A and B are shown apart, each in its own frame.
Chain A
Amino acid sequence: MALLHLSKSLGGHLAEVSSLTQQRSFSLSAVAAAIQKMSRVRVVDNSALGNTPYHRAPRVIHVYTKNGVGKVGDKVLLAIKGQKKKALIVGHKMPGARMTPRFDSNNVVLIEDNGNPTGTRIKVPLPTHLRQMEGDFSKILAIASKFV
Chain B
Amino acid sequence: MRVEKCYFCSGPVYPGHGMMFVRNDCKVFRFCKSKCHKNFKKKRNPRKTRWTKAFRKASGKELTVDNSLEFEKRRNIPVKYQRELWGKTVVAMKKVEEIKQKRQARFIMNRLKKGKQLEKEEVINEVKKNIHLIKAPHAGKAKQMEEKMVQELQKDVDMEDDDL
Residues of chain A touching chain B, judged by Cβ–Cβ distance below 8 Å, are: 91, 95, 98-105, 123-125, 146, 148
Interface contact B15-A102, CB-CB below 8 Å: no
Residues of chain B touching chain A, judged by Cβ–Cβ distance below 8 Å, are: 15-16, 19-24, 26, 28
Interface contact B20-A104, CB-CB below 8 Å: no
Indicate which residue in A99, A105, A146 contacts B24 across the interface (CB closer than 8 Å): A105
Interface contact B16-A91, CB-CB below 8 Å: no
Smallest distance from the beta carbon of A3 to chain B beta carbons, Å? 21
Q: Which of A98, A104, A105, A123 has the most CB of B within 10 A?
A: A104
Smallest distance from the beta carbon of A13 to chain B beta carbons, Å? 22
Indicate which residue in B16, B21, B22, B26 contacts A99 across the interface (CB closer than 8 Å): B16
Main DSSP-derived SS at the A contact region: loop
Add 7 more A-B contacts to A124-B24, A125-B22 (CB < 8 A): A95-B19, A99-B16, A102-B19, A104-B23, A125-B26, A125-B28, A148-B28
Smallest distance from the beta carbon of B15 to chain A beta carbons, Å? 7
Interface contact A104-B19, CB-CB below 8 Å: no
Q: When A and B form their complex, which 10 residue pairs have the shortest distance between CB atoms, in order from nearest? A: A101-B20, A104-B24, A103-B22, A101-B22, A104-B23, A102-B21, A148-B22, A125-B26, A105-B24, A125-B22
Interface contact B22-A104, CB-CB below 8 Å: yes
Complex CA gap A124/B22 in Å reads 10
Q: Which residue of B lies closest to A124 (CB)?
A: B26
Q: Which residue of B lies closest to A42 (CB)?
A: B24
Smallest distance from the beta carbon of B76 to chain A beta carbons, Å? 15
The residues of A that contact B15 with a CB separation of less than 8 Å are 99
Q: Which residue of A lies closest to B41 (CB)?
A: A30
Q: Which residue of A lies closest to B17 (CB)?
A: A98
Complex CA gap A45/B28 in Å reads 19
Smallest distance from the beta carbon of B16 to chain A beta carbons, Å? 7
